Amino acid sequence: MFLYMLAVMIIMTCLNYELTAFSMIFVCILSALLTIVIFYAFQRLPGVRLRPLSRQNSRKTLLLIFLIFLITFAFYMLYFATKYPENILGEGSDTANQYSQAIGEIPYNNWHPVLHTLLFLTLPLKFVDLISFTVFMQIVYFCLAFTYLIFVLYQNGAPGVFLLGLCLYVWLNPYLAGWMMYPVKDSALTIFAIALVAYYIRIIFSKGAWLSNPRNMILFALIAVGCTYMRHNALLFTVPIILTVLFYAVKNKKTRLLTVLSLIAVVALIQLLYAFLDVQSPNFRTEEKIGLPVSIWCNVMHKTPDSLPEETQQVMYELIPSELYEIYDVSEGFNSIKFKDENFWYNLDALSYADVIKYTYQCFRYAPKESMKSLSALIGMVVSADERIWPLNLSGGPNHLGLDENVFNRLLTFTIQIVTLFSNSPFVILFGSLGFMNLALVIVALVLLSENRFSILHSLPLLCYNPVFDSNQKTRALQSL
């Protein structure tokens, strides 16, 4: 953990301040002190169990779990009733495009995951032809997945205080609730990820025995592959889980082989479904694949083009017009210029992967600071706690459920008070900063190292998918802490 915190804080120091001997010493001392204090404080917390404690399913337990579902559903329906967005089908939005696919106006296109379009838009619209119903069903899916995770944690001996804290985090978090008001791939990925983590816990605590059941194996394959298909970069989350399950949790070779075959079978079925629906492959796929390195090139060419070798500069100007480098915005990355001029797409298509690696290496070699700034801006998306979290609209939404005006206004006032309280207070560090959650996860994993040296593996999915770097100056210090 010391090395983890040290690396993060050094990077933040390098990006924001002049690198001095004093700042380096200060970072080392602060990292060491935080490590010692947090680690030993956690070890002495009462009620922390380092071994699973199986609990039986009693009627009282099931009623308690059902009550958690109802409370979760009530909190999210509060947002749905008062803060449902008016412009959810705004012109040019991702949802508008997927909605057009779902109702058959345009062919299915895999620019945004088609499986997400099918499950979260097409299917609900077959029952009720209202876009708001897709959000309602998304809330139901989320509540079911979260309640199941709580149930699994309870069964395996999680302390009651921890479960209560987790429930409060989900119930009172305006950022999470805000995202669930939009039928977008990020929300769908959250739901699948919660279910996948619940299965992962069952597999780990049963030492792989849970997966030996054919039904459970199929369910794990469906959720793992489904989670991967919800977002094009979800592999960073699912692959560490799948590899840990196959090579650490499951000891039986037959179970391991059947699990792999199940995963392959689900992928094959989805691809057959795509073929049946005649799903179109999007244009500009090459540009999407290399968006991260191109963003690094653009920031270097925007800030310090003369730092690169003359030959490389010439190639950069051949790939992208100089006027686009001038308007490049590091906070938005490649997207800030992607659709400004269609003429340069062909030039990027001509690049080989060797070229991509070569020019990215040269950027880091000759302009490391600007390269790191661009990288941190890209991998830090959706982790800041400020006005950029757009689902939080304090003005509220329309009274689309037809509620009594007095009732609606009271609900709206209460919802706005919750949003204001938790977005303008120290709680924003907890609710809006994934860096905080990442650090907590690393601490827990390292505390468990005394019991099992492989426990650090369980933190890798989140750490791979959600780095703590962030491009926003106001929250950078909070992220590193």
pLDDT tens digits for 21-32?
A: 555 565 566 656
pLDDT band of residue 414 (cuts 50, 70, 90) is confident
pLDDT of residue 413: 83
pLDDT of residue 389: 41
Lowest mean pLDDT among 148-157, 388-397, 437-446: 388-397
Q: Are 418 and 174 in contact (CB under 8 A)?
A: yes
Residue 88: which of 374, 400, 319 has the closest Cα?
400
- What mean pLDDT is reported for the chain? 76
pLDDT tens digits for 24-80?
A: 565 566 656 665 665 566 555 554 444 445 566 678 888 889 999 999 999 999 888
pLDDT of residue 460: 73
The C-alpha atoms of residue 255 and residue 259 are separated, in whole angstroms, by 6
Question: Is the model more confident about 211 or about 345?
Answer: 211
Residue 319: which of 300, 288, 298, 305 has the closest Cα?
298
pLDDT of residue 97: 86
pLDDT of residue 470: 37
pLDDT of residue 70: 94
Task: Give the C-alpha distances (Å, rounded to integers) separating 98 from 92, 119, 260, 302, 403.
Answer: 10, 11, 31, 34, 29
pLDDT tens digits for 370-391?
A: 888 777 666 543 334 343 344 4
Question: Is the model more confident about 105 or about 327?
Answer: 105
Residue 390: other Cβ atoms inside 10 A: 10
pLDDT tens digits for 125-168?
A: 999 988 889 999 999 999 999 999 999 999 888 888 888 888 98
pLDDT of residue 228: 92
CA 390 to the chain's CA centroid = 16
pLDDT tens digits for 229-284?
A: 998 778 888 988 999 899 888 888 999 999 999 999 999 999 999 999 998 876 65
pLDDT band of residue 480 (cuts 50, 70, 90) is very low
The C-alpha atoms of residue 175 and residue 476 are separated, in whole angstroms, by 18
pLDDT of residue 432: 63
- What average pLDDT does this structure show over 3-9? 54
Q: Taking 60 as the threshold, does the pLDDT of residue 364 lie above it? A: yes
Report DSSP state, residue 465: H
Cβ-count burial 248-265 (b if 16+ within 10 Å, e if not)? bbbeeeebbebbeebbee
Q: Are 406 and 362 in contact (CB under 8 A)?
A: no
pTM score, two decimals? 0.75
Residue 180: which of 150, 148, 142, 127 has the closest Cα?
142
pLDDT tens digits for 277-286?
A: 998 876 656 6
pLDDT of residue 27: 54
pLDDT band of residue 17 (cuts 50, 70, 90) is very low
Lowest mean pLDDT among 208-222, 328-342, 354-368: 328-342
